[in-house]
């Protein structure tokens, strides 16, 4: 039984680390994005700006925390109309850290206060587990892809080092202070 608990704890910690690494990809995109792309719209199109997309990502994480881990300290909400790249980077780093803590607590702690993962008030809650983690990572990846595509369509393509950098997992893990992907 002890080995099973240790394995569960180890897996939970790695999943928490992976969420932090996932956010590091967002940080790389913001750091290398042409500032002119931040609030730009495609001509003749409606939709979110890059500022609005990153604000949404952070605010959804905040919602997951509020609904699933009401005991957790909530990061401040981002206003998409006033959000700057600097504010987005700081807010995303904070919400990623809180979500990572929620993942580890929910998956490693048998007495966790996180009984259900609630992704929205209208959605049926899920038991905390791999599906919760996959949903959270997929949400970020979807919107990160939108940002990269929007920047490209606006004529502000991200440098090649970003495109190759978000796939260099060993470096991403080291940059986040972890030993390596496990």
- The 10s digit of each residue's pLDDT in 8-63 is 788 899 999 999 999 999 999 999 999 999 999 998 888 999 999 999 999 999 99
Q: What percent of the chain has pLDDT over 70?
A: 98
What does the pLDDT average to over 103-110? 90
> What domains are defined for the chain?
2-175 (1.20.120.450)
**The token pair that represents 84 in the structure block:** 């700057």
* Single pTM value for the model: 0.93
Q: Is 32 exposed, middle or buried (0-12, 13-18, 19+ CB in 10 A)?
A: middle
Q: Is 125 helix (H, G, I), strand (E, B) or coil?
A: coil
Nearest to 96 by CA among 173, 27, 160: 27
pLDDT in tens, 53-66: 999 999 999 999 99
What are the Cα distances from residue 120, in Å, to 52, 62, 67, 68, 139?
19, 11, 7, 9, 13
Question: 10 φ, ψ to 5°?
Answer: -65, -45
pLDDT score of 2:
57
Q: In the block, which residue shows the tokens 């967002």?
A: 26
DSSP SS3 for 64: helix
DSSP type of residue 37: G
């Amino acid at each position: 039984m002890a080995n099973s608990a240790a394995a569960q704890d180890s897996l939970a910690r790695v999943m928490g680390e992976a969420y932090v690494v996932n956010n590091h990809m967002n940080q790389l995109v913001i750091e290398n994005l042409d500032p002119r792309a931040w609030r730009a719209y495609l001509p003749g199109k409606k939709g979110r700006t890059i500022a609005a997309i990153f604000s949404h990502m952070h605010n959804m994480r905040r919602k997951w925390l509020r609904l699933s881990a009401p005991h957790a300290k909530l990061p401040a909400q981002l206003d998409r109309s006033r959000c700057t790249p600097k504010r987005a980077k700081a807010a995303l780093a904070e919400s990623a850290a809180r979500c990572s803590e929620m993942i580890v607590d929910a998956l490693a702690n048998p007495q966790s206060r996180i009984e259900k993962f609630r992704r929205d008030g209208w959605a049926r809650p899920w038991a905390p587990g791999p599906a919760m983690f996959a949903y959270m990572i997929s949400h970020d990846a979807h919107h990160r892809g939108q940002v990269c595509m929007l920047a490209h369509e606006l004529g502000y393509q991200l440098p090649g080092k970003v495109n190759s950098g978000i796939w260099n997992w060993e470096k991403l893990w080291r940059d986040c202070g972890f030993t390596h992907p496990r």
